[in-house]
Structure 1
Amino acid sequence: MTLTSADDVSTWHPERRPWGVGDVVALLVWTTAIAGFFWDAVSLQKALFFFDITEINFPYRDFFARELRAGRFSRWCPGLYCGFPLYSESQAGYLHPLKYLLYPWLPTWQAFNLDTILSIWLTGIGTYGWLRRHVGAAGALAGAGVFGLGGFVWAHLVHTSMINSLTSVPFIMWALEAAWERGRGWPIVLGALALACQVFAGHMQDTILTSELIALYGLYRAATERSRRSRFAALGMAVGLIALAGAIASVQGLPSKELHSRSPRSGGLTWEELTYGSWHPELLPTLILREAYGTLSRDTDWMDGFYPYHEMNAYLGAIAFALAVVGAAAYRDRWVAFWVILAGLGGILMLGRFTFLFDFAHRIPIIGSGRIPVRYHLWVSLAVAALTAVGVDRLSRPGTVRLRPALLTIGILIAVSIPILVYAYTPIWSQPTRWRYPYHLTRFRWLGEQIRFGVVRTSLLIFAAWAVAALATRAKSPVLRSRLVAILPALILADLLGAHFSDVPTITPKYWTDPPESARLLKADPNFIRLFGIAKRASNEPGYASEPVDFLSVRDTLDWSLPPVWGLATARGETPMLPRRLLEFTDHVLPADGRFNLQSVTHLVTAMPNVEGWGKGTPAGSAFIYRNPTVLPRARLMGRPIYVESETAAISALDQFKPLLRDRLVIEDPTHPLPVDAPVSGTATITRELPERIEIQTESKGPAFLVLADTFDPGWSATIDGREAPIRPAYVAFRAVFVPAGAHTVLFRYQPAGFTLGLTITGLGLLMGMALLFWRLPLTLEPEHRTLDWPRAWPIAGLVALVLIVILSSFELQGAKLPAPHPRWARSFHRFTWGAGIEAINPPRGKNEAPQRFGAPQP
Structure 2
Amino acid sequence: MTRWIARRWARLLIVTLGLILCQFVLYGSALVGRTLLLPLDLLALSNVYLPATAEYASVAPGNPTFSDILFEYEMNRRFAATEFRAGRLPLWNPGAYTGVPFANFAKYSPFLLLYYLFDAPWTLAWIQLLTALVAGLGAYAFFREGPRLSFWPAACVAWCVPLSGFFVLWEGFSLVYAAAWFPWLLYAVERTMRAPRRGGVLLALVTCLLVLSGQIDIGGQALLASGLYALVRLGCLHAIPSDRSRRWRRSFERGSALLAGWGLGLCLAAPHLLPLASYARTGARVASRLAGSEERPPVGLSAVFQFFDPNFLGNARSGSIYFGDGNHLESPAAAYVGALSLFVLVPLAWRDRSRRGWCALFTVLTLVALSWDLAIPGLLSLWRAPILSYFSYNRFVFVSGLLLLGLAGIGLESLRRAPGRLLTIGASVAPAVLGVLAIHRLNHWPDPFRALLDGVKQNTVRHHLMGTPEEVDRITRTFQHDTILFVVICAVAILLLVALRLRCQEARVAVGGAIVLELVIFGCGFAPQGRPALYLPPIGPLDSLETADRVLCANCLPPNLNQRFGFRDVRGYDGVDPARLMDLLDLCRDPKIPVPPYGRAQYFVPVVRLTASHEAAVSPILSLANVQVLVFRGTPPASAVTLFHRDDYWAMANPRACPRAFVPARVETVVDAGSRLAKMGNPDFDPRAVAYVETNLDLPGPCSGQATIVDATRPSRLDIHAEMATPGLLVVSDLWDDGWSAEVNGRPAPILRTDHAFRGVILPPGHSDIQMSYRPRSFRDGLFAMIGAVAVTLVWSASALTSKR
Q: TM-score range by the shorter chain?
A: 0.7 to 0.9
2:166 to 152, 166, 169: 152
1:490 to 510, 513, 518: 513
- SS state at 2:771 partner: strand
Q: Which residue of 2 aligns with 1:735?
A: 759
- SS state at 2:97 partner: coil
Q: Which residue of 2 aligns with 1:138?
A: 152
Q: Which residue of 2 aligns with 1:449?
A: 477
Q: Distance in 1 between matches of 2:452 and 2:97?
A: 47
- SS state at 2:302 partner: helix
Q: Please give the residue correspondences for 1:496-645 in structure 2 after superposition, counting only pairs within 5 Å.
A: 496-512=519-535, 514-523=537-546, 527=547, 529-535=549-555, 557-590=556-589, 591=606, 592-610=618-636, 615-616=641-642, 618-645=644-671
- SS state at 1:689 partner: coil
Shifted more, 307-316 versus 587-596: the winner is: 587-596
Shifted more, 579-588 versus 395-404: the winner is: 395-404
Q: Which residue of 1 aligns with 2:345?
A: 323
Higher RCO (CA < 8 A, seq sep 6+): 1
The alignment-based identity, stated in percent, is: 19
Number of residue-to-residue matches in the alignment? 726
8 Å CA contact retained: 1:701, 1:741: yes
What code does the residue aligned with 1:66 have?
T
Shifted more, 583-592 versus 16-25: the winner is: 16-25
Q: Which residue of 2 aligns with 1:699?
A: 723
- SS state at 2:526 partner: coil
8 Å CA contact retained: 1:644, 1:650: yes
Shifted more, 752-761 versus 331-340: the winner is: 331-340
Q: Which residue of 2 aligns with 1:546?
A: none
Matched, 1:188 2:207: no
Q: Distance in 1 between matches of 2:622 and 2:783?
A: 38
Q: Distance in 2 between matches of 1:735 and 1:198?
A: 36
Cα deviation, residue 416, structure 1: 7.3
Provide, for residues 75-100 of structure 1, a one-character-per-residue CA deviation record: whole Å limited to 9, x for no partner: 111111211101x22x1x22222223
- Indicate the RMSD between aligned Cα atoms, in angstroms: 3.4
Q: Which residue of 2 aligns with 1:666?
A: 691
8 Å CA contact retained: 1:17, 1:136: no
Cα deviation, residue 660, structure 1: 2.2
- SS state at 1:596 partner: helix
Q: From the superposition, tell whether residues 117 and 607 of structure 1 become closer, same or farther in structure 2 (CA, over 3 Å).
A: farther
What code does the residue aligned with 2:620 have?
G
Q: From the superposition, tell whether residues 511 and 750 of structure 1 become closer, same or farther in structure 2 (CA, over 3 Å).
A: farther
Cα deviation, residue 521, structure 1: 2.7
Provide, for residues 589-636 of structure 1, a one-character-per-residue CA deviation record: whole Å limited to 9, x for no partner: 444422331111222223242369964473343333232232221122
Q: Please give the residue correspondences for 1:10-409 in structure 2 after superposition, counting only pairs within 5 Å.
A: 19=8, 21=10, 23-47=12-36, 48-49=38-39, 50-86=66-102, 88-89=103-104, 91=105, 93-100=106-113, 102-133=114-145, 134-159=148-173, 161-181=174-194, 183-224=195-236, 225-226=238-239, 227-265=247-285, 267=287, 269=289, 273-274=293-294, 276-298=296-318, 300-304=320-324, 306-312=325-331, 313=333, 314-321=335-342, 322-330=344-352, 333=355, 334-352=357-375, 355-359=377-381, 361-365=383-387, 367-371=388-392, 373-400=393-420, 402-404=422-424, 406-409=427-430
Cα deviation, residue 388, structure 1: 1.1
- What's the TM-score once normalised by structure 2's chain length? 0.82
Q: Which residue of 2 aligns with 1:3?
A: none
Q: Distance in 2 between matches of 1:429 and 1:245?
A: 51
Cα deviation, residue 679, structure 1: 4.0
Provide, for residues 338-360 of structure 1, a one-character-per-residue CA deviation record: whole Å limited to 9, x for no partner: 112212222223334x6453246
Q: From the superposition, tell whether residues 390 and 529 of structure 1 become closer, same or farther in structure 2 (CA, over 3 Å).
A: same
Provide, for residues 317-351 of structure 1, a one-character-per-residue CA deviation record: whole Å limited to 9, x for no partner: 21121312212333662333211221222222333
Q: From the superposition, tell whether residues 337 and 189 of structure 1 become closer, same or farther in structure 2 (CA, over 3 Å).
A: same
Q: Distance in 1 between matches of 2:226 and 2:198?
A: 17
Provide, for residues 246-277 of structure 1, a one-character-per-residue CA deviation record: whole Å limited to 9, x for no partner: 22222211111111112125545378623624
Q: From the superposition, tell whether residues 735 and 428 of structure 1 become closer, same or farther in structure 2 (CA, over 3 Å).
A: closer
Q: Distance in 2 between matches of 1:243 and 1:611?
A: 61
Give unpaired runs (5+ residues) of structure 1. Answer: 1-15, 536-556, 782-859
Cα deviation, residue 40, structure 1: 2.4
8 Å CA contact retained: 1:30, 1:141: no
8 Å CA contact retained: 2:221, 2:391: no
- SS state at 2:684 partner: helix
Give unpaired runs (5+ residues) of structure 2. Answer: 40-65, 240-246, 459-465, 590-605, 607-617
Q: From the superposition, tell whether residues 502 and 377 of structure 1 become closer, same or farther in structure 2 (CA, over 3 Å).
A: same
Q: Which residue of 1 aligns with 2:602?
A: none
Q: Distance in 1 between matches of 2:383 and 2:639?
A: 48
Q: Distance in 2 between matches of 1:430 and 1:723?
A: 68
Shifted more, 328-337 versus 627-636: the winner is: 328-337
What code does the residue aligned with 1:63 have?
F
Cα deviation, residue 728, structure 1: 0.9
Q: Please give the residue correspondences for 1:671-750 in structure 2 after superposition, counting only pairs within 5 Å.
A: 671-675=696-700, 677-750=701-774
- SS state at 2:711 partner: strand
Provide, for residues 43-84 of structure 1, a one-character-per-residue CA deviation record: whole Å limited to 9, x for no partner: 232221341112211111110101111122131111112111
Q: From the superposition, tell whether residues 121 and 473 of structure 1 become closer, same or farther in structure 2 (CA, over 3 Å).
A: farther
What code does the residue aligned with 2:191 have?
A
8 Å CA contact retained: 1:215, 1:239: no
- SS state at 1:108 partner: coil
Q: From the superposition, tell whether residues 291 and 719 of structure 1 become closer, same or farther in structure 2 (CA, over 3 Å).
A: same
8 Å CA contact retained: 1:277, 1:311: no
What code does the residue aligned with 1:565 have?
R
Cα deviation, residue 428, structure 1: 7.5
Q: From the superposition, tell whether residues 231 and 444 of structure 1 become closer, same or farther in structure 2 (CA, over 3 Å).
A: farther
8 Å CA contact retained: 2:620, 2:687: yes
8 Å CA contact retained: 1:326, 1:403: yes
